[in-house]
Amino acid sequence: MADTVIDLIQPGSSLNLGIGMPTMVIERMPAEKRVMIHSENGVLGVDGRPLPETVSPTLINAGKETITAGKGASFFDSALSFGMIRGGHIDFCVLGGMEVDRHGSLANWMVPGKKVTGMGGAMDLVHGAKQVIVMLTHFSKAGKCKLVAECELPLTGERVVHQVVTERGVFSVGNGQFKIEQLAPGVSRDQLGIDDQWLA
Amino acid sequence: MTSEPKVFADAKSALFDLRDGISLMSGGFGLCGIPENSIREIVRQGIRDIHAISNNIGNSGRGLAMLLKQHQISRATCSYVGGNPDLEQQMLAGEVETTLVPQGTFSERIRAAGMGIRAFYTPAGAGTLVAEGKEVREFDRPCILEYPLSADFAIIKAEKGDTYGNLWFKETARNFSPLMAMAGKTAVVEVEQLVELGEIPAEDVHLPGVFVQRIYQGRDYENVVEIPVYAPA
């Protein structure tokens, strides 16, 4: 899935990576793509991971994981960081999700009565980045498809998602439907768990 | 070190006028860049009914989570609870009244307070629970009216600071700290290195000292690496 996401990112662009699954993209991003990776806690130019002897407690990503900064990197405060996002200066963002619906609405920050993680920077990212990609497993642990007709969980943003990447395929969202851009090898349309009327 | 009106000997002398019921901003993202000495001192003082304003209100049982453990915090304003079981439990039990704010709105509200901006509109949170009870106005898309966020005290940490309060931050430890120093009525800064005027080149000052009221040399920093992830050997 990380490689599928990487294929969607244009060379030379700026990219914000959300917490969780999207951080897998860091380690697999080829250097020759010259992508500047942004992390909203205040760094543009995330490079990869440190060695135990070079680790710095003051150099982390939004998931609080240790990182390294590459040549051309910069550090800044949180307001400038979100200005980059809200101001439309970040080309792509990749977020995790609990539900995405056919209108492009996303839910990823709380399950009422069960779990609250908080929205962190996700509500700003979905309105700021030029292309919003959601990366998630196709089905929940209970076997429910996370690509739904209408989100039931509290929203992170309304009509904000452009593309969805799961282990079963790549989908773009528009006109109230999930448009199949690509199916994973061996996966057919009827194995997606999405009502046929919402599939294009 | 020359005696300057802003320079204090330690956390205890710099935080001499805290009281129950204050609003308190604390810099740091997770445990990165947290003011360890000031937090330890507030734990020692045991003041209560604090309104804590910080991105995470501590994490992994450390930082401001030490104040949560002692039930010193009654209100919290933050953007992220994940990784902070002390807050999640006290929030769900109704012990800490928690307001979750989108992180960009959180940082901009704090910046606005420091910069004298009276309000602003942002699309973040439109059409979500965050918009409930707030004015919504249509620009290129629906936007929410948000107000500044200030505090009685801001406690922050910088890598280097001089006796006027000019600050220099290391790597991603800057995060919310300069904004909070601007928004706090009294900004109390602790530093790894307290230096003389001129030792931080003027071009490299990240926050001018005019925003800082008190500064002291910190000690015994843990600088915890919260989630170490290493390159494959």
Chain B nearest-CA residue for A39: B172
* Chain pair A-B, CB pairs under 8 angstroms: 171
Of B169, B208, B213, residue with least CA distance to B192: B169
Judge: A119–B31 Cβ closer than 8 Å, yes or no: no
What pLDDT sits at residue B64? Answer: 97
Indicate whether B122 pLDDT > 80: yes
Task: For residue B11, give how far its alpha carbon lies from the nearest alpha carbon of chain A (Å).
Answer: 22
Interface of A with B in 167-196 (CB under 8 A): none
User: At residue A162, what is the residue type?
Assistant: H
Q: What is the pLDDT of residues B64-118, one digit of tens each?
A: 999 999 999 999 999 999 989 999 999 989 999 999 999 999 999 999 999 999 9
- Given a cut of 90, whether residue A115 has pLDDT beyond it is no
Strand, coil or helix: what is B46? coil
pLDDT of residue B133: 97
B93 and A CB contact within 8 Å: no
CB < 8 Å to A19, chain B = 82
pLDDT (tens digit per residue) in B26-56: 999 999 999 999 999 999 999 999 999 999 9
CB of B81 less than 8 A from some CB of A: yes
Pick from A49, A117, A120: which is nearest to B231 by CB? A49
| Distance set, CA A196 to CA A102, A146, A191, B18, B169 (Å) | 12, 15, 11, 62, 54
pLDDT tens digit string along A169-198?
A: 999 998 899 999 999 999 999 999 999 999
- Give the mean pLDDT of A48-53: 94
Q: Would the CB atoms of B31 and A64 count as touching at under 8 Å?
A: yes
Given a cut of 60, whether residue B2 has pLDDT beyond it is no
Q: Which of B89, B107, B160 to mutate to test the interface with A (most CBs of A within 10 A)?
A: B107
Checking if the pLDDT of B1 tops 60, the result is no
Active site residues of A: 40
Please report the pLDDT score of residue B3 as a whole number: 53
Distance CA A166, CA A54 (A): 34
Query: Using a CB-CB distance cutoff of 8 angstroms, which residues of chain A are in contact with residue B148?
Result: none
Q: Using an 8 Å CB-CB cutoff, list chain A residues near B173.
A: 58
Nearest to B97 by CA among B125, B77, B72: B77
Task: Tell me phi and psi for residue A42, to 5 degrees.
Answer: 125, 40
Contacts of A107 in chain B (CB under 8 A): none
- Given a cut of 80, whether residue B233 has pLDDT beyond it is no
List, in sequence order, every residue forming a beta bridge with A163; answer none if it has no partner. A133, A172
pLDDT, position A196? 94
Domains in chain A (CATH in brackets) are 2-198 (3.40.1080.10)
| Mean pLDDT taken over chain A | 95
Determine what percent of chain B is predicted with pLDDT higher than 70.
98
Angle at A12 between CA A6 and CA A14, to 5 degrees: 75
Query: What would the two tokens of residue A157 be?
Result: 């943003």
**Cα–Cα distance for residue pair A55/A34, rounded to 1 Å:** 23
Cβ-nearest to A57 among B104, B124, B223: B223
Residue A66: which of B111, B176, B228 has the nearest Cβ?
B228
Which pLDDT value is given to residue A20? 82
pLDDT (average), residues B172-187: 98
